[in-house]
Structure 1
Amino acid sequence: MELQGTLKSWNDDKGFGFIRPATGGEDVFVHISAVRGDQRPQVGEAVAYVAGRDERGRARAEHMRTAGSLRIDQPGIRRRPSPVPSASVRNTPAPIADGRRGAGGRAVIRHLPAKLILLALLCLLPVWGCLRALDAGVPWIGLGYLLFSLLSFGLYWSDKRKAQSGHWRVTEARLHLSELLGGWPGALIAQQVFRHKTRKLGFQFICWSIVAAHQAFWLERLLLKASVIGPLPVPGL
């Protein structure tokens, strides 16, 4: 059944927006793939939509059209419009790669050797601690670091793709939780590989605080001989 509402917001570059239902309640997410008609959506226009829920139970439009419109659907409206370059842009030579893009247009990691050295240094204490625990018959600490690093890498990959396609994002709390549980090495790698979350200062502060907390824990366990926290009920620690 179609419901009535007003298009409250629309990001034409990313191809998504939100509908304000005529009956009130929470705003409804709509992606360009659900839009029908012969023109792209306009903020403020009255729309008719079929309500649904995404896999996480949030309101989402399965279908949306301009209210009162019975025009023939044009699939071309669901493609991102290509900007028309000005004459000055057309006559400008192609720019040389700026250090973040390789010759083939691929993103490259700047200062890669220095970043690899930093990552190796940050992993020294955790690897030492995991080896001590493994020697004491406790393999799950090292496995935890590995599995949560893989999980963090996957979450960053998923969040990057969702950001580009306009879908619901992975929450920052989930990213940080995975880092806290041992996935920070995978998170640091993913940030550089996908160029994701590297310029968000608040996010970076929390991420590096988690890294520092892990370093402090292993420093206390291994070099200070557990003199601060005291012994833990884990062999080797």
Structure 2
Amino acid sequence: MSRTGELVQWNNKGGYGFVRDGTGNDFYVHISKLAEGEPRPKPGDQLRFDIATGRNGRPAAINIVVTAVAPVPERSMRDVRRLSDGVPRYQIGLRTTAATMLTLLILLAIATDRAPLWLGTIYTLMGLASALLYRFDKLYALNDRWRVSEANLHVVDFCFGIIGGLIAQEIYRHKTVKPRFVAVTWALALIHVLGLAMLALGWVSIALP
């Protein structure tokens, strides 16, 4: 007679664990005893199985069928606690440096009346918009959902959102590995640095009211 129970322990590398039936008894599970075509189980999955004598003389589960898959918990930004593999820390720190440089150039240009105050407002608003897009994209990536396109991220960064984009990349450790994306990000940052530097130094000007 078949029994049902929950997989309470599972060693994915070794392919074995224990299933607990409704009476609280645990039975040894080995991946070789799964019915043909069944997926590799994980803790929390509901199993249907038969009982047979195992190698050590104790009851073990055989003819195992996964009847219900355990729900995957929703992941949040708290799960992002370490840098992505292969990303040197200095590369991440450069984003903060670049964002700080851009901010100082904006303040200098405004303080010397070489740029209007609304320019700083635009950079602030678009920076917030860019940071939110990166946050949403990171959350979507964590939970295998629809993603914000890389083109949209670049467009918002180009349209004065670059400071928020750089800060978000560092805070969320997102979009810091893919070479093509990184190259475009730094190209956009360079464009804004050059433009703001020319404003701050008085090489170009924006008509003030």
TM range (shorter): 0.5 to 0.7
How far does the alpha carbon of each residue in 1:188-207 deviate from its partner, in whole angstroms, 9 at most, with x for none?
A: 11111111000011111111
Shift of 1:80: 4.0
CA contact (8 A) 1:126 1:215 kept: no
- Distance in 1 (alpha carbons) for counterparts of 2:141 and 2:110: 35
Q: Provide TM-score, normalisation by structure 2.
A: 0.54
Shift of 1:212: 0.5
Is 1:203 the equivalent of 2:181? yes
Matched residues, number = 135
How far does the alpha carbon of each residue in 1:34-82 deviate from its partner, in whole angstroms, 9 at most, with x for none?
A: xxxxx87xxxxxxxxxxxxxxxxxxxxxxxxxxxxxxxxx6x436249x
* Helix, strand or coil at the partner of 1:235: coil
Is 1:120 the equivalent of 2:93? no
Q: Which has the higher contact order (CA 8 A, sep 6+)?
A: 2
CA contact (8 A) 2:112 2:200 kept: no
Shift of 1:129: 2.0
How far does the alpha carbon of each residue in 1:76-111 deviate from its partner, in whole angstroms, 9 at most, with x for none?
A: 436249xxxxxxxxxxxxxxxxxxxxxx98625746
Is 1:181 the equivalent of 2:155? no
Deviant stretches of 4+, over 4 Å: 108-118
Shift of 1:220: 2.2
Matching residue within 69, 74, 89 for 1:77: 69
Long gaps (5+) in structure 2: 1-37, 40-66, 84-88
* Helix, strand or coil at the partner of 1:189: helix
Aligned position for 1:235 = 208
- Distance in 1 (alpha carbons) for counterparts of 2:79 and 2:141: 20
The amino acid of 2:180's aligned partner reads G
Shift of 1:165: 1.4
Aligned position for 2:141 = 163
- Distance in 1 (alpha carbons) for counterparts of 2:112 and 2:136: 34
Q: Provide TM-score, normalisation by structure 1.
A: 0.48
Aligned position for 2:171 = 193
Matches within 5 A, 1:40-119: 76-77=68-69, 79-80=71-72, 107=81, 110=89, 116-119=96-99
Structure 1 or 2, whichever has the larger Rg, is: 2
* Helix, strand or coil at the partner of 2:69: helix
Shift of 1:178: 1.2
Shift of 1:222: 2.8
Distance change (3 Å), C-alpha of 1:139 and 1:172: same
